[in-house]
Amino acid sequence: MIKSTKKSVVGSSASSGRIKAIDIVNKGLKRRYRKEKRFRLYGMLSILASVAFLAFLLTSIVFNGYSAFLQTYIKLDVPLEAGMIDKQEPGRSDFQGIIKSAIRSYYPEVTERQDKRELYALFSSGAAFQLRDTVLSNPPEEGTTLSLWVLADDDVDMLMKGHMKRDVPEGSRRLNDKQLRWIERLEADKRVEKRFNTTFFSAGDSREPELAGIWGAVKGSIYTMLVTLALSFPIGICAAVYLEEFAPKNLATDFIEVNINNLAAVPSIVFGLLGLAVFLNFFGMPRSTPLVGGIVLMLMTLPTIIIASRAALKAVPPSIREAALGVGSSKLQVVASHVLPLALPGMLTGTIIGMAQALGETAPLLMIGMVAFIVDIPGGFTDPAAVMPVQIYLWADSPERAFVERTSAAIMVLLAFLISMNAVAVVMRKRFERRW
Amino acid sequence: MQEVLNKKNVEKRILAPRESRDTIGRINVSNPRMICRDVNVYYGDKQAIRNVSIDIGCNEVLAMIGPSGCGKSTFLRCLNRMNDTIDNCRVTGEILFDDKDIYDSSIDVVPLRAQIGMVFQKPNPFPKTIYENVAWAPRIHGIIESKSDADEIVETSLQKAGLWGEVKDRLDQPGNGLSGGQQQRLCIARAIAVSPEVILMDEPCSALDPIATAKIEDLIEELRTQYTIAIVTHSMQQASRVSQRTAFFHLGDLIEVGATEAIFTKPSHQLTEDYITGRYG
Ligand SMILES: Nc1ncnc2c1ncn2[C@@H]1O[C@H](COP(=O)(O)OP(=O)(O)OP(=O)(O)O)[C@@H](O)[C@H]1O
Ligand SMILES: [Mg+2]
């Protein structure tokens, strides 16, 4: 096809006696522009497709998860009779019992054992802790009645949020008709309210969805990322600078280079196995801790950081190095004063990518016991902790309907964490990027 | 067919390893600053410089001329061991500076390069301010300690390089913001800020207009009173204007060396004559 047009051009110009290059160029011009247009179209389509997918993903997460930021509370009047609160040690009083009697006094008609149990089930077991905190922080006088907004059970919460339908047959919902009537009475008394879910942002994991929070995992992630960053950034940059600027070019360094490139492609679970074998079994470090998790993730991010840093170093023009060497600086002075400042933005980019990878990683942590049910909020690098992706994985695996929305909410928190982490890095990169 | 064969033969003759040609002219001077004897340079297996012996005298400007690719830059870079930065480059022979072979294992290249400064073919200021470009090297060598020392050395160096008047109000601006000619003079200021004894210049004016070139030539004339200068140039006029002695290189050999006047008026070697009269090159 193309060949034939070419021939005709040459033929026609030959017949007119002179071959003008511009005629051939003009002839092909249309085809070239068409090609360009087509290419642009492909580019636009692919961007459109990725934006659409991203939008779909984000909306579905937000749609599923936004309701987790609200939580149903029930107003409960708690009469404090004499002897209910322990005088010597108020913290050791039977708060569970006080709550139960408060509930009973609101529903005096419930007398059957079975009914009582079903009634209590409408309230979260966290209500007793709420009462305890209130009493301890502000000891009330005996005989007063405390008016307390206590957490509703997750089933009630789901009902209030519309995730559980009232008009389906009794057998196919988790609350029976009797319980529904009790709730309707609370609603009629305006004793049910959805409020901002502070528990979600301040608590650790829990078996009870209404008591479960992401904060423990956020802190675990913070500690883990700190360990990863503190180790992988300096080690990665030192390794890259050494390999690029100081190491002789021989078989050994070639071998190292090939291996670093290979390591970047190793499945992350392998690093977890390594962590298990070396750090837990050999060095005897504590399991399930940010310290070990951070070290394992450091191993995983190092190749990324080294490769990006070496690329950044390679991009520094050699004339700068020659200039500095030419005035008699040592190699270290060349690197520290001229090469590193120019390469740092690129190195930071590599670090961002590596850290983002590490933040979302679960597989290697599986091997070192970080996929565990951990209620306490970690207070340091050696406390057992979960990290956010692990928490998401655990909740996604839970049967309760209330954990579904919490899973999506946790993903949102993870994304927010990632975005703020990257924002910090971008700002830092901008500051270093004042290249002339 | 015959033609192709002939051409191949000619190429073979040119590229084949051959006996080095003897240098015509006096290679030694009465008061040498650097003495080079039987210098050979190899890039891998390929020999770029063959048995070059030459002296560089005190307070003289030595011009190196020759066709492109003949090894002028290679030889110049040997003189302060800049070739060390090229992985497969190997140097044999003797280059004496202060009666010591600079390729001796006991020689430290850091102080050596502080004494033998270099100005590169392409201006390569540091990506820093004009002030820092000049002050950085003296500072790392410990020549300057205080801010006032630095100010002084920046001013005198820029003045010597003929740049002070143009930049004295914008010292805190980036060096890369200067024009090409100004950048080259900045590089010269940077080189003389550490008070070297020898300055090597690799085609310092190749990217400059005649006015900037004239400024740099004036500068070289002035610097000669204090420094020893070796300059590579493609301009015959420049060589005859600034240098006292001229060396002509051809395909890795030093063909002829002598007083500039003599070389340009009555060259002894046929190749030299062909080159300076423009018949070859
Ligand atoms: N890094 C290198 N590796 C391999 N060969 C090199 C290298 N640098 C230079 N050469 C070769 O050495 C020879 C001399 O090069 P050199 O740069 O010294 O030439 P030159 O005389 O400075 O030329 P020009 O006037 O064009 O700058 C050339 O044949 C060149 O191809
Ligand atoms: Mg050259």
Residue span of the structural domain in which A55 resides: 2-66
Q: What residues flank ligand 1, with Cβ below 6 Å?
A: B 43, 48, 66, 68-74, 86
**Is the separation of the CB atoms in A436 and A342 below 8 Å?**
no
CATH number (domain holding residue B260): 3.40.50.300
- Whether the pLDDT of residue A40 is over 90: the answer is yes
Tokens of A406: 């919490």
Hey, is A62 helix, strand or coil? helix
Q: Whole-angstrom Cα distance, residue B242 to residue A121?
A: 101
Cα-Cα end-to-end distance for chain B: 28
**Is the separation of the CB atoms in A386 and A414 below 8 Å?**
no
Q: Which amino acid is at A34?
A: R
Claim to verify: residue A243 and residue A357 sit in the same structural domain? yes
Give the Å distance between the CA of B48 and the centre of ligand 1.
7
pLDDT given at position A393: 92
pLDDT given at position A61: 92
User: What b/e string do you get for A177-200 counting C-beta neighbours within 10 Å, with b at 16 or more?
Assistant: eebbebbeebeeeebbeeeebebb
CATH number (domain holding residue A390): 1.10.3720.10
pTM, two decimals, is: 0.82
Q: In angstroms, how far apart are the furthest CA atoms of chain B?
A: 74
Tokens of A71: 């939580």
Instruction: Tell me whether residue B102 is in a domain.
Output: yes
Instruction: Tell me whether residue A210 is in a domain.
Output: no
pLDDT given at position B8: 55
Instruction: Tell me whether residue A387 is in a domain.
Output: yes
Claim to verify: residue A164 and residue A21 sit in the same structural domain? no
Give the Å distance between the CA of B75 and the centre of ligand 2.
9
Claim to verify: residue A274 and residue A417 sit in the same structural domain? yes
Instruction: Tell me whether residue B177 is in a domain.
Output: no
Nearest CA to A364 out of A259, A254, A267, A265 is that of A267
A-contacting residues of B 178-197, CB under 8 Å? 187, 190-191, 193-194
- Please give the C-alpha separations between residue B12 and each of A109, A237, A320, B125, B271, in angstroms, as whole numbers: 115, 49, 38, 42, 20
Q: Whole-angstrom Cα distance, residue A332 to residue A242?
A: 10
pLDDT given at position A1: 42
Instruction: Tell me whether residue B162 is in a domain.
Output: no
**Is the separation of the CB atoms in B231 and B243 below 8 Å?**
yes
Q: Whole-angstrom Cα distance, residue A391 to residue B60?
A: 77
**Beta-strand pair B253-259/B61-65:** unpaired
Instruction: Tell me whether residue B191 is in a domain.
Output: no
Residue A94: band (very low, low, confident or very high) from pLDDT cuts 50, 70, 90: confident
What are φ and ψ of residue B248, in 5° steps?
A: -110, 120
Hey, is A239 helix, strand or coil? helix
Residue A162: band (very low, low, confident or very high) from pLDDT cuts 50, 70, 90: confident
Claim to verify: residue A261 and residue A271 sit in the same structural domain? yes
User: Domains in chain A: how many in total?
Assistant: 3
Ranges under pLDDT 70 in chain B: 1-20, 280-281
Q: Which amino acid is at A189?
A: D
User: Domains in chain B: how many in total?
Assistant: 1
**Is the separation of the CB atoms in A354 and A341 below 8 Å?**
no
> Measured between CB atoms, which of B85, B191, B193 is closest to A325?
B85
Instruction: Tell me whether residue A209 is in a domain.
Output: no
Instruction: Tell me whether residue B14 is in a domain.
Output: no
Claim to verify: residue A11 and residue A73 sit in the same structural domain? no
Run of H or E residues at B255: strand B253-259
Residue span of the structural domain in which B214 resides: 20-127+201-276
- Please give the C-alpha separations between residue B180 and each of B106, B126, B205, in angstroms, as whole numbers: 39, 14, 10
> What is the sign, positive or negative, of the torsion defined by CA atoms of A314, A320, A325, A331?
negative
Q: Give me the half-sphere count of Cα atoms (radius 13 Å) on the Cβ side of residue B64.
A: 28
Taking CA A88 as the corner, what is the angle to CA A86 and CA A89, rounded to the nearest 5 degrees? 65
Mutation to test the A interface, candidates B102, B132, B136, B170, most A Cβ within 10 Å: B136
Instruction: Tell me whether residue B107 is in a domain.
Output: yes
Distance of CA B108 to the CA centre of its chain: 21
Share of residues in chain A with pLDDT > 70 (%): 95
Give the number of the ligand closest to the Cα of residue B68. 1
Claim to verify: residue A424 and residue A275 sit in the same structural domain? yes
Q: CA torsion, points B182, B188, B192, B198, in degrees to nearest 10?
A: -160
Claim to verify: residue A152 and residue A165 sit in the same structural domain? yes
Tokens of B63: 């011009």
Q: Is B122 in CB contact (< 8 Å) with chain A?
A: yes
Claim to verify: residue A164 and residue A61 sit in the same structural domain? no
ipTM confidence: 0.85
Residue-wise pLDDT tens digits, A329-350: 999 999 999 999 999 999 998 9
pLDDT given at position B62: 95
B127 to A320: CB separation less than 8 angstroms, yes or no: yes
Q: How many residues does chain B have?
A: 281
Instruction: Tell me whether residue A256 is in a domain.
Output: yes
Q: Which residues of A touch B124 (CB under 8 A)?
A: 317, 319-320, 322-323
Tokens of A72: 């149903």
What are φ and ψ of residue B116, in 5° steps?
A: -120, 95
Claim to verify: residue A259 and residue A315 sit in the same structural domain? yes
Claim to verify: residue A171 and residue A264 sit in the same structural domain? no
Claim to verify: residue A235 and residue A349 sit in the same structural domain? yes
Claim to verify: residue A230 and residue A271 sit in the same structural domain? yes
Mean pLDDT is lowest, of A57-61, A168-172, B21-25, for B21-25
